Amino acid sequence: MIFEPHDYQAYAIDYIETHPVAAVLLDMGLGKTVISLTAIVDLLFDSFVAHRVLVVAPLRVARDTWPDEIKKWSHLSILTFAVAVGTVKERRAAVMQSADVTIINRENLSWLIEDSGLPFDYDMVILDELSSFKSHQSKRFKSLLKVRPKVKRMVGLTGTPSSNGLMDLWAEFRLLDMGERLGRFISQYRQTFFLPDKRNGQIVYSYKPLPFAEDAIYRRITDITISMKSTDHLKMPELVSTQYEVHLSDEEAQRYEDMKRELVLQLPDGEVTAANAAVLTGKLAQLANGAIYTDAGEIVEIHDRKLDALEDIIEAANSKPVLVAYWFRHDLQRIKNHFSVRELKSSKDIADWNNGDIPVAVIHPASAGHGLNLQAGGSTLVWFGLTWSLELYQQTNARLWRQGQSARTVVIQHIVTKDTIDERILKALRAKDRTQAALIEAVKADLKII
């Protein structure tokens, strides 16, 4: 297939080629993979400023999306590539091919750097989903930081750079520019832009940004950062976001209130305890979905309100494909017990969905949230259970609401249990979005200069 880039894609390609360090915040569906690969071809075979490229991506994206894109476009046929996933033997064999582009899943990055015994001879690294490196305490961050001085060109790709607030940005940009803009140490970043918020004595659990922090941070990173939103550059289908409310019975509501108030819920089949607020929120979310794990790990079903709602939604779809996002394992088990569904896990599952062969599919946001192209299979997504993660939430929605979606309207339905933590989760997602939206807007690319 011949690649004819949109203006915004040509701009992004040129930006990557002309900026040795680049944070490319491309909204979901804008084609960040083919943009990056086109820039790679130019850098390898035109300007000759890159010689070997490492792509780090989520597992399914590394295994499926990047290879598929290379095979799809005729101008990329010159590239040799190797996918370093699977067993140690398979990964080692892939790396030793010395291909132009080596693609590895982020979980194996530390193995490549620390344990493989193979030289790290990549002079260009692309982090697909830069937000995967937002924790400065993670092993993948520390490993990559060790070899960062060897890398001449760094590109960070993401559509959700600060899903949990401005604190996420330090680690991401520390890898990109080695601390030039936001400082070499997290302590320095905190002292400059934040105040302690929630704390217990000398232990600080969270920080809040100072009044000037957002503008100051954005000014520091804007020279290596571009941002583009899909709605600015594509004729996107209409996005309809709705809530399907379900209501607990008086007895079920009382159980919910007992858990919230006393942190203990007595059940006929066992006792569930919530040792702290974090555990409590998880227990309440389970209860809102209709089942809960006991301390012994057994599943106790409380109600079928969301299952009944899901049945209504599937029936109303009138044979149109429906994609269902779940969060807890018992959600999946109960959905499978009530409906004929197929979980999207393998490459064949994804292909069958896009071919229209799966009427009802289920996915978990953590394993299918990034990079997967599912828009050909349907236009309705139902959130059976919500996630606190704005990143996973937005990325999962973008599997259907993206470029290439043939339907004129994409429907995102949230099954929400009234007067439960479900409502708080939606509110929290919207609150986090305000911070991220401000970042996106602050570094938005002005394509008028093309």
- The amino acid at residue 304 is D
Per-position b or e across 296-325, b if 16+ CB within 10 A of its CB: eeeebebbebbbebbeebbeebeeebbbbb
pTM of the model: 0.71
The band of 198, judged by pLDDT with boundaries at 50, 70 and 90, is: confident
pLDDT at 449 over 60: no
In whole angstroms, give the CA distance from residue 146 to residue 182.
18
Average pLDDT over residues 351-376: 85
Note whether 84 and 109 are within 8 A (CB). no
In whole angstroms, give the CA distance from residue 375 to residue 380.
10
The residues spanned by each domain of the chain are 7-233+437-449, 238-248+303-419, 252-302
pLDDT of residue 448: 43
CATH class of 7-233+437-449: alpha beta
pLDDT at 231 over 80: no
Average pLDDT over residues 148-158: 96
Pick from 15-19, 195-199, 346-350, 352-356: least confident: 195-199
Same CATH fold, 238-248+303-419 and 7-233+437-449?
A: yes
Q: Which of 57, 37, 29, 68 is nearest to 159 (CA)?
A: 29
User: How many Å from the N-terminal Cα to the C-terminal Cα in the chain?
Assistant: 26
CATH of domain 238-248+303-419: 3.40.50.300
pLDDT of residue 336: 96
Average pLDDT over residues 39-47: 96
CA angle at 14 for the pair 8 and 16, rounded to the nearest 5°: 105
Highest mean pLDDT: which range of 36-40, 233-237, 315-319, 349-353: 36-40
pLDDT at 190 over 60: yes
In whole angstroms, give the CA distance from residue 135 to residue 167.
9
